[in-house]
Chains A and B, each alone.
Chain A
Amino acid sequence: MGKTFGKYNDIELYKALSGKKPIAEAAFSELYARYAQRVFAYCLRVTGDDEDAKDIFQETFLKFYHNANSKNEENIDNIGGLLITIARHLCLNFKRNRKQLLNIDEFNITTNDTEYERKELLKLVSMAIELLEFEYREAFVLRQYQGLSYKEIAVITETSVSAIKNRVWRAKEMIKDILSPYLEDMSN
């Protein structure tokens, strides 16, 4: 960790991953520091489960590293997008193997309490996100959590920009409806 790689851009670091081990290690560490949180947030909010998110998160970075070492001459220009794409594919595989367990009827918010603890609120948000269909959830997370542009999301999800806009809009509406009692409380 002694060598400094903070000054290199993502692409330079990505190329360095296929270099000698000390160089590759330092480059990987730098990229990990830059994107670990985003990737984990995506995994956590899309899967809705800590353990699953952890597994997918680890798998994402392993695949990412092996991808860089595969001598594949593909043109990479967005490392963040690449990582999310890998994570997304893993999430889709995960989704295929697991059914949605939560039902919207189970999700009731009592508004009697005037003050929600911050942690509880965030838990509610994550639960609300889990209630969304995968494509809406994904679009919402990429837009709201990752701060990606509609165009970037469209590239990652291989969908049109307008479709993504629509998904994000619908996701917001659904979450807003679920959290409505709380949001009204906040608004007052």
Chain B
Amino acid sequence: MIHDYLDGELDQLNQDILFSELALNQDLRTEFNKQVKLQVVTQSDMATITPPIEATNAVFASLGFSIPSQEYMKNLTANTLAEGPFSAIKKFWAKHIALNSVLLLILLMTGSYVVFQPVIFNGSKNSGADRTGNSVFSNVNHADKFSAMSSSVPLISSYENKNSGTVLSGSDIASNNSESVTNNYRNSRQVNFRDNSAFESNSYYLHNDESRLNNVSGDMIESGNNLDLFSLLSGSNQDLRLNDLVNKRMNSFLAFNSNAYVNPSQSLNNNYYIWGLPQYRFRHQSPEVSIDITKWMLQVRTLNLNQAQQVSLSKSFDKPAQNKWYDNLSFTALYKFNSYHSLGIECGWEPFNQVFYNNENGQTYRQQQSPTLFWIGAAYRFTYPDIGWQNVIYPYAQIVAGGTTVGPLGRGQIGIQIEPVSLIRFDLGLEAACLIYRLQGTTYAPFKYGLTFGGGINF
């Protein structure tokens, strides 16, 4: 009965009888255990047996066939070896090397940032901070509240129009939530923000239909005057000129040890609206100044795309997947011209399924293969920060034109770019890639598509 059970030939009724007996009879249990162990041992033995390489070579040589490749022999061996837990883990790692590498990279980058930039995560300690954009000066007694806050939160107190002599104090600004300051800044040449003042675009608009401050700054930029941003930001001594910030997006948490928070979502030259429009917001919500002045971007992402053209490959004879660490990965280096446009290079390694017809000696063979190809090309990326969510998530599109050893390659992707902090970024998108190659006068264009994701750093 035990033998029948292990052979899988024992019906349910007899199985019940067997297990009832096993429950009662110690000797039977011992016998059962022995039989099971014997079965396990023979299976283990079978898994270790592999035809010797010399025997394989001898067989093929005797028949006048070419000696099988090392890969083939390895594959033959690999198919027969028993798989332990470590080899299973190794196999899993090798199979998903690209995905695992990206996840590991993201983990390392995030971990590094948390360790080395903890101030970002401590910003909420400031009790006066308002991350939601709601004004803390919404009550009637703005001035009192403002001055009360100034003790704990150093704020920008005033800005001054030297030419016109107009000075707006913090209390002026804060005096009424809906109050409009209508001074004319048309002739302004320098704007200083000093001491303790707060600017919240959602709450304090200095309406001036004739000349908004963005025009002022635009004038200054055009006329070559300097706007000292760090004198503008709580009197910091750091020498960061507004001119230098032209074309640089200021969108996230790059701390300057200042006590004001700048979180603009637009480039300064185009949309430098301090008042009236929400693009450039001076908010008292966090004790950091966040300015993205990065120019370069390095990125790694996965390329596990679906092959539009399926091939049926022999596990034994077609070149098995190499599963090198760089397979199905791409690396990108981009130079950011401005908030929207970036240009650079991208390279990667990934398999392309190829099905083609090969004419040999008057006979046409349908051949299929899936070689892993290295490719490299020029990359253009368009980011559109004007729309998005919380200055953290933006849409983007990217195209690459390049080539492989077998022919040209084009790829394109659209997706979202996530920048929780200015240093790091993540991409999630839809991607399509097309390889073009010619063989015996025929052009083939295998196509791939699917999701792509990755991470990168800005610097």
Q: Contacts of B75 on A, CB cut-off 8 Å?
A: 33
Q: Is A67 an interface position by the 8 A CB rule?
A: no
Chain B: minimal CB distance from A143 (Å):
8
B 16-58 binary contact with A (CB < 8 Å = 1; else 0): 0000000000000010011101110111111011111011101
Of A55-63, A77-85, A89-97, the one contacting chain B is A55-63
- A183 engages B38 (CB within 8 Å): yes
Take A1-B68, A145-B42 as given contacts and tell me if A40 and B367 are in contact as well, using a CB distance cutoff of 8 Å: no
Of B33, B58, B316, which is within 8 A of A30 by CB? B316
Q: Are A126 and B45 in touch, CB under 8 angstroms?
A: yes
Q: Which residue of B lies closest to A149 (CB)?
A: B7
Is the CB–CB distance between B37 and A4 below 8 Å?
A: no
**Do B49 and A44 touch (CB < 8 A)?**
yes
- Separation of A4 and B315 alpha carbons in the complex (Å): 9
Determine if B63 is an interface residue (Cβ-Cβ < 8 Å): yes
Which of B50, B72, B317 has the largest number of chain A CB atoms within 10 A? B317
Looking at A21, A37, A118, the one whose CB has the most chain B CB atoms below 10 A away is A37
Residues of the A chain whose Cβ atoms lie less than 8 Å from the Cβ of B63: 25, 28, 62, 65
Min CB distance, B319 to chain A, in Å?
A: 9
A32 to B41, Cβ gap below 8 A? no
Q: Which residues of B contact A37 (CB under 8 A)?
A: 49-51, 76, 79-80
How many angstroms from the CA of A186 to the CA of B313 in the assembled complex?
Answer: 42
B38 and A33 contact, CB distance less than 8 A: no
**Does any Cβ of B come within 8 Å of A180's Cβ?**
yes
> Could you tell me the distance in whole angstroms from the C-beta of A123 to the nearest C-beta in chain B?
9
CB of B368 within 8 A of CB of A4, answer yes
Interface-side segment among A101-109, A131-139, A168-176 = A168-176
The answer to whether the Cβ of B83 comes within 8 Å of any Cβ in the partner chain is no
A side interface size, CB within 8 A? 48
Q: Which residues of A contact B313 (CB under 8 A)?
A: 4, 6
A122 at the interface (CB under 8 A from B): yes
Residues in A with CB closer than 8 Å to B34 are 176, 180, 183-184, 187
CA of A2 to CA of B79, assembled, Å: 20
B69 at the interface (CB under 8 A from A): yes
- In residues 64-80 of chain B, which contact A (Cβ within 8 Å)? 64-66, 68-69, 72, 75-76, 79-80
**Which residues on the B side are within 8 Å of A26 (C-beta)?**
317
Query: Chain A residues with Cβ under 8 A from B59's Cβ?
Result: 32, 57-58, 61-62
- Among A5, A118, A172, residue most surrounded by chain B Cβ atoms (within 10 Å): A172
- Contact indicator A4/B50 (Cβ below 8 Å): no
Q: Is the CB of B55 within 8 A of A122?
A: no
CA distance A44 to B42 in the complex (A): 13
The reply on A156 being an interface residue by CB < 8 A is no
Query: Which chain B residue has the least Cβ–Cβ distance from A118?
Result: B44
Contact of A28 among B38, B49, B65 (CB under 8 A): B65
Which residues of A have CB within 8 Å of B30? 184, 187
Can you list 18 contacts pairing A with B, beta carbon distance less than 8 Å? Answer: A4-B367, A25-B66, A26-B317, A30-B314, A33-B75, A33-B316, A33-B317, A37-B79, A40-B55, A58-B62, A62-B63, A65-B63, A118-B44, A122-B44, A125-B45, A172-B3, A184-B34, A187-B33
Ranked nearest first, the 6 interchain pairs of A and B with the lowest CB-CB distance are: A6-B314, A33-B316, A187-B33, A40-B51, A144-B42, A41-B49
